[in-house]
Amino acid sequence: MAFKLPELGYAYDALEPHIDARTMEIHYTKHHAGYTNNLNKAITGTDLDNKSIEEILYNLDMSNAPVRNNGGGYYNHNLFWTVMNPNDKGRLSGKLREEIEKTFGSVESFKDLFAKAAQSRFGSGWAWLVVNDGKLEICSTPNQDNPLMPEVGCKGTPILGLDVWEHAYYLKFQNRRPEYIQEFFKVINWNEVERRYDEAMK
Ligand code: MN3
């Protein structure tokens, strides 16, 4: 099997009370594992076998639904687990903080704009903070699409992503997506977002 489900890196209940343990467990062991297995099935024996996930997504044939949906799902959740951390609440600092303030006015207005992108995504999808040509941008994509894919109207290297599929919040928040978004802000692992920012700026 080419791709492996990565370690979560913390316990299912580590993000309580913001993100509940049951949601984390199902999300990781059923949804993310499902995307991983189905991606492997979709690429086995094709010329995508042995390519990196980034390479697969950059050069994606958007009409290849199994690879688009499961490759996106695999990559997106890999990123999602790492940009949350129970021990790094709100420690946004350094160059990324400066850049966020410069681009969006303030950290608060960044959060407002990001929340708006997450809230207004109709149905299932993701909100993103990306580095595009050295600049920070906020955007969103439907389903499991992401900014690495061609022609999704949202381009760049994702450094922060928020899953707004109902499976990510319905058990605890039901239809209250705005509340879920506000709780997400409390568990962002800014160290990891900064690491991804530095990497993207190289
Ligand atoms: Mn999900």
Q: Is the pLDDT of residue 61 over 80?
A: yes
Q: Ligand 1 center to residue 131 CA distance, Å? A: 22
Q: What is the tens place of the pLDDT at every residue in 9-54?
A: 999 999 999 999 999 999 999 999 999 999 999 999 999 998 999 9
* Model pLDDT, residue 10: 95
Domain boundaries, the chain: 20-202
Q: What is the C-alpha end-to-end distance of the chain, expressed in Å?
A: 31
Q: Ligand 1 center to residue 181 CA distance, Å? A: 14
Closest C-alpha among 169, 188, 14 to residue 111: 188
Q: Ligand 1 center to residue 102 CA distance, Å? A: 31
Q: Ligand 1 center to residue 53 CA distance, Å? A: 17
* Model pLDDT, residue 86: 77
The architecture in CATH of the region 20-202 reads: 3-Layer(bab) Sandwich (3.55)
Q: Ligand 1 center to residue 81 CA distance, Å? A: 10
Q: Ligand 1 center to residue 105 CA distance, Å? A: 30
pTM for the structure as a whole? 0.96
